[in-house]
Amino acid sequence: MSGRVVHFELPFDDGARARSFYSELFGWQLEDVPGMDYSLVATGPVGEQGSTEPGYINGGMTERGGPVERPVITIDVDDIDATLEEVAKRGGETVVGRQPVGPMGWTAYFRDPEGNVMGLWQTNPQGEGSGSGGAGEAASGGAADAGAASAAADTDYDV
């Protein structure tokens, strides 16, 4: 298990306002996901496989709701199911179980004992990409697509 932080999600109530705020303030590159109120976010230089320089974590912005009521960080793991079992053993709980994200991998959300909702990402070794997410990576997959998939889920969550 790498345990690396690989992605973040920022919820918004007004997408245009939030996108403008972060792109203008920090120079973040935003790429809208067609058919969804979700934007991939690149916080630094990106190529087809995600970040091209170390030290940058990319993410997404999505409409507030579901598991993303507050900012969420996503952690890379080798096995989401085993990690969710460990979460439960240590006093946490699953918020959203393992979900496929196209051929790239799987995502899930859990709540820690302090009430924080966190994301998990498991890369499919047979998938098309293993990047860290963000704008410029939509074609190759990665954790940003995990957020896009969860944002598209039409489910009510008790967060």
Q: How high is the pLDDT of residue 89?
A: 97
Distance in angstroms (rounded) separating the CA atoms of residues 109 and 75: 10
pLDDT of residue 136 exceeding 80: no
* Mean pLDDT value across the chain: 81
Q: Kindly state the tokens that stand for 94.
A: 């699953």
Q: In this structure, what DSSP letter does residue 65 have?
A: B
Give all domains of the chain, ordered by start, each with its CATH number: 5-152 (3.10.180.10)
Signed CA dihedral, 112, 114, 117, 121: sign only: negative
Q: Would you say the pTM of this structure is higher than 0.75? A: no
Cα separation, 134 vs 29, in Å, equals 9
